[in-house]
Structure 1
Amino acid sequence: MKVSLKSKEDIAGIRAAGSILGDCHKEIAKRIGPGISTLEIDNWVEKFLAQRDATPEQKGYRGYPYATCASVNEVVCHGFPTDQKLKHGDIVTIDIVVNKNGWLADSGWSYRIGEVSSEADRILKVTERALYAGIAEAMPGKKIGDIGFAIGKVAKEAKVGVVKPLIGHGIGRNMHEPPDVPNFGRARTGMVLQAGMVITIEPIFTIGDTGAILWDDDGWGIRSADGSLGAHYEHTLAITEDGPIILTT
């Protein structure tokens, strides 16, 4: 497994894509709410990216037909946008990969739709906390297992499920590059992290403590096997001598 270390110029290219993506999520946060559909959000995202001379990398990837993945409630990842209106109490993850001048950045974020249940609020807060626990471990000399251990520790303490088949990854000119970045693991094991690596960290948790999943008939959508709510938070970051730098803010 050969990892492509990125130069400062490479990282600047990914940061340019990530900055657009961060702005996009900020605007989604203003727009998403009861009465809007994820298909409307998808159409808006495509126009927003076009205005920034950027494109949605998902669209056309292995035949995927949309600019975003939109995963509602028990759908934890890769859901298709639909024309069904969102309602109070829903939670929805919008996952986007932006291509700017051939450099890619990837970020998924879970949103509350109106007032959500205390259970929904808790899984969202726990998953977001796990994201930053993982990012804090992304230092030169640490190991891949340190990231997964930190994320898994948050899940274990909160008694929620880790969706183990879905993991973070390297990114750059390609959407998925080495190394794999699991959301579980043993500390001080696995590949040594180096300055110049650019990776995504993206915990995906379910309220049900098994984290077991099922694939939808469309071959894309992935939902919790027990029907419990799921959450997904993701940033793209560069590992530098000074520590992790989030590129998708």
Structure 2
Amino acid sequence: MINVKSSQDIEYMRMAGRLVAECHELLAEAIKPGITTLELDKMAEDYFKKNGAVPTFLGYQGFPNSICASINGEVVHGIPNHRRLEEGDIIAIDLGATLNGFVGDAARTHGVGNISETAKKLIDVTRESFFKGIAFARQGYRLSDVSHAIQCYVEANGFSVVRDYVGHGIGREMHEDPPIPNFGKPGHGPRLCQGMCLAIEPMVNVGNYDVEVLDNDWTVVTTDGSLSAHYENTIVVTGESEPEILTML
């Protein structure tokens, strides 16, 4: 069942979303060659707790950290560790905060120092595909209209959309109905209406879309070893006008 949020619910989600956006900016400034993903994780955890929020990911279904840190060919759910980032890496940071009982969730992919032209294009296309998708996140459109727009943009730029992992509804829980694929034919799925809160999150590979899970039971990687990028925001459908992005400043 899709939970339509009240105006008070949405206000609480704005507050959680703002913390998420601020934390992403904090980490973006810290991402440089030599820093470890565990150091980034500690920064995020401290920031949320200092501001009265709970790191949503910490302990979620047993996940051991406050952020997901996925490097190069890691698609999602990378576990922070003592690995130091190197010049030319790309890193996707996914994080969430729970405040007043509601969740904000967003992901960004960053280059570490100087990166390849392919990596730059991948990051840019992944981000832009999100905005192509949410152009259809308006009252009256179908959910798959969002999915289709994302897929078309990504594939037109020569990349592939991950099939095995999708976006989701969001509110009091991080993962609520409906699941939101980043691919598919238009005109299908639930009709969007005002007050729906959605986490739209394209995951895009340079190579094919096949992925697998490592032995740690969390980290998802591309099977062909190609680079992958991730971009996500929590949004609310406002009606026939553009959706409101809750996790951007």
TM-score tier by shorter-chain length is over 0.9
Match for residue 71 of structure 2? 72
**1:194 correspondence with 2:196:** no
Match for residue 58 of structure 1? 57
Q: 1:140, 1:243 within 8 Å by CA — same for their partners in 2?
A: no
Match for residue 171 of structure 1? 170
Match for residue 10 of structure 1? 9
Match for residue 221 of structure 1? 219
Q: Where does structure 1 lack aligned partners over 5 or more consecutive residues?
A: none
**1:27 correspondence with 2:19:** no
- Provide the rounded CA distance (Å) in 1 between the counterparts of 2:136 and 2:33: 37
How far is 1:243 from its partner? 2.8
- Provide the rounded CA distance (Å) in 2 between the counterparts of 1:127 and 1:58: 23
SS at match of 1:214: strand
Deviation string, structure 1 residues 115-151 (Cα, Å, up to 9, x no partner)? 0001111111110110111111100000011001100
- Provide the rounded CA distance (Å) in 2 between the counterparts of 1:99 and 1:7: 17
SS at match of 1:243: coil
Match for residue 83 of structure 1? 82
How far is 1:162 from its partner? 0.8
Match for residue 132 of structure 1? 131
- Provide the rounded CA distance (Å) in 2 between the counterparts of 1:243 and 1:117: 34
Could you say what the CA RMSD is over the residues aligned between the two structures, in angstroms? 0.7
How far is 1:92 from its partner? 0.3
- Provide the rounded CA distance (Å) in 1 between the counterparts of 2:185 and 2:140: 15
Paired residues in the alignment total 247
Q: Where does structure 2 lack aligned partners over 5 or more consecutive residues?
A: none
Match for residue 148 of structure 1? 147
Q: 1:93, 1:110 within 8 Å by CA — same for their partners in 2?
A: yes
Amino acid at match of 1:96: L
Deviation string, structure 1 residues 67-107 (Cα, Å, up to 9, x no partner)? 00000000010000011110110000110011011110100
Structure 1 length-normalised TM? 0.98
SS at match of 1:87: coil
User: Structure 1 stretches (4+) deviating beyond 6 angstroms?
Assistant: none
Structure 2 length-normalised TM? 0.98
Match for residue 92 of structure 1? 91
Match for residue 120 of structure 2? 121
- Provide the rounded CA distance (Å) in 1 between the counterparts of 2:169 and 2:6: 14
- Provide the rounded CA distance (Å) in 2 between the counterparts of 1:142 and 1:148: 11
SS at match of 1:240: coil
